[in-house]
Amino acid sequence: MQLVSGRGHYEAVVAAVLKAQRSVWVATANLKQMMVEGRRVSVRARSRFRSVLDVFDELAAAGVELRILHASRPSGPFRERFDALPRLYEGGLELRECPRVHLKAVVVDGALVYLGSANWTGAGLGAKGEGRRNFEVGILTDDDEVLDTIQELYDRIWRGAECAACSLRDDGCEAPLDLFSAERVVTASQRARQGSVAAEGAETRAEPAATKRRSASRKGSKTRTAKETASKKVAAKETPAKKTASKKAAAKKTASKRTAAKRTSATEAAAKRTSRKKTGKKTAAKQTPEPSTSA
């Protein structure tokens, strides 16, 4: 067991968190942005510090389980940085709020636990200078009995096992934790086995789903084919009628043209006959001799 105070919180507790291999569980009343030593490129210049959330993002990428149980709404800078890291807000870092949480604890890899007065804030655990830090004190231990007790309590709160008897459930608690899916404390190897089983189950479930999709696709193709065939049949039935109608219309047009042509020919013939008659009369008039005037 190690007693920690002042900057010892950062050098012992936070240092252990940054080296986590399997899990980090944090319990805190206040949750704020916390800076740790480590270079990052800022907007203005290269800084010696970066957000602990950036380190959490790297830990999440390595498969480390990250949980924070807190009592109040996280600070604005914390939320802003959290929202900028998709891997964390998509499940890499789980946050659960319970207004009755006032314990301060940090459990690393299920093998080391901090218990004390420091919140998960820059002034409590962060890399702030001595003149700006809170006066905090706590212990760091790997005692199995202490670890089991703290993890059991943490897990009961986390999965909402204390919610049923809580007087704040219907008055002041916006999201009771028992509404979340039940979870239990498991070792890293158990989580790995569960992950393998879950992956196999997902593959098994995926096969029927894919089969259903293929079946639906085939049914859809058959339906489309049947519709196309029906459309073709209807079109085939309609085509002869359309052809017959077209032929009749063409025949009518032809007959009309012929009738018009006949009428024109008859008119022209009548005109010619009239013209010949007039011409004949004129000719006959010329050929008739004038009567003699002699007595």
DSSP 169-201: TTTT-SS-GGGSPP-----HHHHHHHHHHHHHH
pTM (whole model) above 0.85: no
| pLDDT at residue number 80 | 96
| pLDDT at residue number 254 | 63
Give the Cα separation of 152 and 149 in Å (integer).
5
Give the Cα separation of 215 and 285 in Å (integer).
103
- The average pLDDT across 75-104 equals 95
Tell me how far CA of residue 252 lies from CA of 223, 238, 286, in angstroms: 43, 21, 51
pLDDT exceeds 70 at position 124: yes
Mean pLDDT taken over the chain: 76
* Number of neighbours of residue 182 by Cβ within 10 angstroms: 9
Burial letters for 30-61: b for 16+ Cβ neighbours within 10 Å, e otherwise? bbbbbbbeeeeeeeeeeeebbbbbbbbbebbe
Give the Cα separation of 140 and 4 in Å (integer).
7
* Number of neighbours of residue 178 by Cβ within 10 angstroms: 14
pLDDT exceeds 70 at position 152: yes
| In-domain check, residue 276 | no
In sequence order, what are the beta bridge partners of 218? none
- The average pLDDT across 132-142 equals 94
| In-domain check, residue 150 | yes
| DSSP state at residue 19 | T
Domain tally, the chain: 1
| In-domain check, residue 253 | no
pLDDT exceeds 50 at position 215: no
**Residues ≥6 apart with Cβ < 8 Å to 56:** 24, 66, 85, 88, 92, 93
Q: At 48, list the tokens.
A: 């010696």
pLDDT exceeds 50 at position 223: no
| In-domain check, residue 23 | yes
| In-domain check, residue 221 | no
The CA dihedral of 87, 111, 71, 60, to the nearest 10 degrees, is: 0
* 289 pLDDT tier (thresholds 50, 70, 90): low
> Which DSSP string do the residues of 237-255 spell out, in sequence order?
HHHHHHHHHHHHHHHHHHH
Q: What is the CATH number of the domain that holds 43?
A: 3.30.870.10
| pLDDT at residue number 170 | 79
* Residue corresponding to tokens 């007595």: 295
Residue 153, exposed/middle/buried by CB under 10 A (0-12, 13-18, 19+)?
Answer: middle
Highest averaged pLDDT of the listed ranges 30-34, 187-191, 196-200, 243-247:
30-34
> Which DSSP string do the residues of 71-90 spell out, in sequence order?
SSPPPHHHHHHHHT-HHIII
| In-domain check, residue 197 | no
Give the Cα separation of 271 and 235 in Å (integer).
53
| pLDDT at residue number 38 | 74
pLDDT exceeds 60 at position 290: no
| In-domain check, residue 71 | yes
* 14 pLDDT tier (thresholds 50, 70, 90): very high
| pLDDT at residue number 118 | 95
Domain limits at 12?
2-184
| In-domain check, residue 251 | no
In sequence order, what are the beta bridge partners of 31? 120
pLDDT exceeds 50 at position 90: yes
- The average pLDDT across 203-231 equals 48
